[in-house]
Structure 1
Amino acid sequence: MFNALYSLWFLFAGIALIMLGNGLQGTLLGVRASLEGFLTIETGMIMSAYYFGFLFGSTLTTRIVKKVGHIRAFAALASIASAMVLVHAVFPYPLAWVFIRIGSGFCFAGIAVVTESWLNHYSTNSIRGRVFSIYMVIQLAGLGAGQFLLNVSDPAGYKLFILISVLVSLAVVPILLTSTAAPLMSGFSKVGIRKLYEISPLGLVGTFGVGIAHGSFLGMGAVYAKMAGFSLEQVAGFMATLIFGGVVLQFPIGRLSDYLDRRTVLTGVTFLAAISALVCNGLSGVSINVFFVFSFLFGGLSLSLYSLCVSHTNDYLEPEQMVMASSSLTFVVGVGACLGPLSVSTMMRWFGPSGFFLYLACIHGAIGVFALYRVYIRKPVPMEDQNPYVPITPRVSHVAAAIIPESLRVEVEKI
């Protein structure tokens, strides 16, 4: 296991730098948009544009990788992403940022495709699930740590844009210096959305709702914090607590779902997330420390939901269906993420900063009600037939989404 991880150090180092820059970029743009006087709905469009680019980039960049190879594709996409970051500072206009964000999303999706297919190729069946679990932790940890870089310089200037560009550019170095041969790219197909709904209505509906929620708070969280009067340090702290909550709570919740009816765990987590969102809404401006505690709890609960939805869906699938179904779920969560920032920004326009957590409470509450309904009308999967919990985030491409569930199932069968 250690030798395998050591041989993949260049990928882990590269993705850590990418996620540091990506984490800072999303929050910086939310803060800078407020400073530039963008309308809330305009900022929502900008944040939705990223997920739109990521959604299509995840699929289309596969062709690029097949044509030019992993190393050239990674270097080209990272270079374009690095340049696009700087263009934000040159053209601080809403429409320009929409197109730039589409391009950024496309590039970061391509980088994810390259990284995940490379990890898949050099991981054996016996350790692939654990390798991708480490990849998920690095992703979330980098995303969370990037929030604190917001305090390095004034967001009204250009230095933070340069810092992001440097981080993304440096991510190419370990990839270019590796002596490990790049793998060949393989394709993945999908199970139709209608078929997936017939197999697992809760898995599909839950995934779509989770996409809306995650797109909302990861895209518009910094805008909410600025509207609520948070200082720059508090904005960074708020976004970091949301993300690190996901790092800490995802695995305990996952383990719990392996021993109980997964639908019951999913229902409980969604309602607890909705309650946490309501508490956060009430605490905003009252007690910042207690607010951060409940933000941590909300982030941990909400960021665990995608994994629960994927794992629940897998409980109703045959092993040969998992790859195709997981790829489709990635598309569904991506569509939800595209809609999230735009819809929550509308709520914030109508209700001010209170609309942020009220909207998130409604989304999680709606998922919980549907989950409760499904628990009532459908018998649970016998515990011995449940597949293992799948630790996964919506920020992975269709490649990891297709690989991880089957890899973990194979590992568990060998125990």
Structure 2
Amino acid sequence: MVSAIGSVWALLLGIALMMLGNGLQGTLLGVRATIEGFPTGVTGLVMTGYYLGFLAGSVLAPRIVQRVGHIRVFAALASIASASVLLHAILVDPWSWGAMRLATGFSYAGLYVVAESWLNDRSTNETRGQILSIYMIVMLGGLALGQFLLNAGDPGDFQLFVLISVLVSLALVPISLTASPAPSFDAPTPVGLRDLYRVSPLGVVGGIGNGMAGGMLLGMGAVYAQIAGMTLAQVSLFMALIFIGAMALQWPIGRLSDLVDRRKVIFAAAVSVSVIFLTLALLPAVPVWVTLAAAFIFGGLTMPMYSLCGAHLNDHLEPRQMVAASGGYVLLNGLGAVLGPVTASAAMTGLGPMGFFLALAMVHGAIALFAIWRMTRRSAVPAEDQGAFVAMPVRGSPIAATLNPEAPGEFEEWKGLPADAADGASGTPRPAPGSSGESGFDVPQ
């Protein structure tokens, strides 16, 4: 573990500083938008800009890195992200903020591409799992700690925006000064929606729904907390508990999914979140401590669901196909995230604060119902044939899949499913890939 950290410490330090800034920025903008009197629906559109930019950056940034190089791209995008933060404090109107969120999302997607490809280059088959675990801790820990920086200044003033800019700018220092050579870069072409759905309908629907829920809570959570009358300290704690819950429950939920039908764990997590938030939506008054506990539970159940659905998808693939398929899965999750803030803001506009909980309950209820239906249409992969659960970063780039220790060090491009392959979406149960009498999803050579 020590040797693994030693090989990537500069990258991890830079990532930690980025996460501190990114964690604070999302929450600060939600609070500031409410202070400035932005309508809830308009705030939802502004917050959607980040996820649109992130989706575009996930597609375009790998090509830019291939042409320009890691360090130049990292420096350029970090500078754009840093400048965009400062412009929020200067140009306080929804149109400008929407454009800046778009630029910020694009920049962070590119920064993740650079960081994750560099981490993969510095890892070996023996250390990839350790480095991925450290990366997850740094990401979630940085995002959680960034929430508490909200209390370091007045959200209605400019100082917190300057702090974010400083953190993002400082992230450049350890990476720019590293003596290690820039890695070679090879990005997989993401797999399309149709092929992924044929492999695992629940993986696709769950991934999109999980992205939508994440976009709701991370994009509009601070807005909800402000409207609900929380203090600034309570808002920061509410948002931090989401990431703390994810850190606390990621491993036990993943471990459970390795022992039983993974679809049952996805169903249990989704229905639990749906019931909790439906209850909160229907209660006439919700104590703050109950809302804070719900944030912890949401983070602990929903964030691991991203990796659960990804693991369920991988259970129906050969290892060499996982990286390309995971690239498509990341983009599908990002598409769901684009829909999240707009959906939550529309619900809150029509129903008030309770609409926030109701929207979250409906999304998770839909995932739970789809999971039940899929369990009636397709036989389960035996627990002993399932791959091991691997926690993956929810807001990572498609390159993050190369750190998955379940995938081989070298991946191959997706060549499509064979014409005679059994279709997992057709409703005909079939055995797991590699079992007797089934060709699985081997791509034609």
TM-score by length of 1: 0.96
Aligned pair 1:321/2:293, yes or no?
A: no
**C-alpha offsets along residues 2-37 of structure 1, whole Å, 9 cap, x if unaligned?**
212112000110000000000000000000001111
Aligned pair 1:304/2:292, yes or no?
A: no
Following the alignment from structure 1 to structure 2, what is the Cα–Cα distance between the partners of residues 163 and 387? 42
Following the alignment from structure 2 to structure 1, what is the Cα–Cα distance between the partners of residues 182 and 284? 49
Following the alignment from structure 2 to structure 1, what is the Cα–Cα distance between the partners of residues 307 and 158? 37
Residue pair 2:58, 2:110 contacting (<8 A) in 1 also: yes
Q: Name the residue aligned to 2:390.
A: 390
Q: Name the residue aligned to 1:27.
A: 27
Q: Name the residue aligned to 2:399.
A: 399
Residue pair 1:188, 1:402 contacting (<8 A) in 2 also: no
Q: Name the residue aligned to 2:133.
A: 133
Runs (4 or more) in structure 1 with deviation over 2 Å come to: 278-287, 405-410
Q: For structure 1, which segment, 134-143 or 151-160, has the greater mean C-alpha deviation from structure 2 after superposition?
A: 134-143
Aligned pair 1:258/2:258, yes or no?
A: yes
The 3-state SS of whatever aligns with 2:125 is: coil
**C-alpha offsets along residues 89-126 of structure 1, whole Å, 9 cap, x if unaligned?**
11001011111100000001110000000000010011
Q: Name the residue aligned to 1:360.
A: 360
Q: For structure 1, which segment, 252-261 or 268-277, has the greater mean C-alpha deviation from structure 2 after superposition?
A: 268-277
Q: How far is 1:401 from its partner?
A: 2.9
**C-alpha offsets along residues 165-196 of structure 1, whole Å, 9 cap, x if unaligned?**
00001111111121111101112112221111
Aligned pair 1:89/2:89, yes or no?
A: yes
Following the alignment from structure 2 to structure 1, what is the Cα–Cα distance between the partners of residues 172 and 212? 31
Query: Are residues 285 and 31 of structure 1, via their aligned partners in 2, closer, same or farther at CA, if it must alter by over 3 Å?
Result: farther
Q: Name the residue aligned to 1:148.
A: 148
Q: Name the residue aligned to 2:246.
A: 246
Q: How far is 1:138 from its partner?
A: 1.0
Query: Are residues 4 and 393 of structure 1, via their aligned partners in 2, closer, same or farther at CA, if it must alter by over 3 Å?
Result: closer
**C-alpha offsets along residues 330-364 of structure 1, whole Å, 9 cap, x if unaligned?**
11001100011011100000001100011101100
Residue pair 2:81, 2:168 contacting (<8 A) in 1 also: yes
Following the alignment from structure 1 to structure 2, what is the Cα–Cα distance between the partners of residues 63 and 197? 26
Q: For structure 1, which segment, 278-287 or 231-240, has the greater mean C-alpha deviation from structure 2 after superposition?
A: 278-287
Q: Name the residue aligned to 1:413.
A: none
Query: Are residues 408 and 318 of structure 1, via their aligned partners in 2, closer, same or farther at CA, if it must alter by over 3 Å?
Result: closer
Following the alignment from structure 1 to structure 2, what is the Cα–Cα distance between the partners of residues 365 and 242? 19
Residue pair 2:212, 2:336 contacting (<8 A) in 1 also: yes
Alignment of 1:340-355 (within 5 A): 340-355=340-355
The runs of 5 or more residues in structure 1 that have no matched partner are: 411-415
Residues paired across the two proteins, number: 410
The 3-state SS of whatever aligns with 2:404 is: helix
Residue pair 1:47, 1:220 contacting (<8 A) in 2 also: yes
Q: How far is 1:402 from its partner?
A: 4.5
Q: Name the residue aligned to 1:41.
A: 41
The runs of 5 or more residues in structure 2 that have no matched partner are: 411-445
The 3-state SS of whatever aligns with 2:317 is: coil
Q: Report the AA paired with residue 36 of structure 2.
A: E
Q: Report the AA paired with residue 178 of structure 2.
A: T
Following the alignment from structure 1 to structure 2, what is the Cα–Cα distance between the partners of residues 409 and 69? 22
Aligned pair 1:330/2:339, yes or no?
A: no
Q: Name the residue aligned to 2:51.
A: 51
Give aligned-pair identity as a percent: 53
Q: Report the AA paired with residue 342 of structure 1.
A: V
Larger radius of gyration: 2
Following the alignment from structure 1 to structure 2, what is the Cα–Cα distance between the partners of residues 383 and 290? 36
Q: Name the residue aligned to 2:172.
A: 172
Q: For structure 1, which segment, 194-203 or 278-287, has the greater mean C-alpha deviation from structure 2 after superposition?
A: 278-287
Following the alignment from structure 2 to structure 1, what is the Cα–Cα distance between the partners of residues 380 and 409? 19
The 3-state SS of whatever aligns with 1:174 is: helix
Q: For structure 1, which segment, 169-178 or 67-76, has the greater mean C-alpha deviation from structure 2 after superposition?
A: 67-76
Q: Name the residue aligned to 1:115.
A: 115
Q: Report the AA paired with residue 191 of structure 2.
A: V
Residue pair 1:224, 1:353 contacting (<8 A) in 2 also: yes
Please provide the CA RMSD for this pair.
1.6
Query: Are residues 71 and 409 of structure 1, via their aligned partners in 2, closer, same or farther at CA, if it must alter by over 3 Å?
Result: closer
Q: How far is 1:324 from its partner?
A: 1.1
Q: How far is 1:405 from its partner?
A: 5.8
Residue pair 1:390, 1:408 contacting (<8 A) in 2 also: no
Which has the larger share of helix? 1
Q: How far is 1:132 from its partner?
A: 1.1
Residue pair 2:387, 2:406 contacting (<8 A) in 1 also: no
Following the alignment from structure 1 to structure 2, what is the Cα–Cα distance between the partners of residues 24 and 285? 28
Following the alignment from structure 1 to structure 2, what is the Cα–Cα distance between the partners of residues 280 and 146? 27
Residue pair 1:113, 1:399 contacting (<8 A) in 2 also: yes
Following the alignment from structure 1 to structure 2, what is the Cα–Cα distance between the partners of residues 142 and 345? 27
Residue pair 1:323, 1:405 contacting (<8 A) in 2 also: no
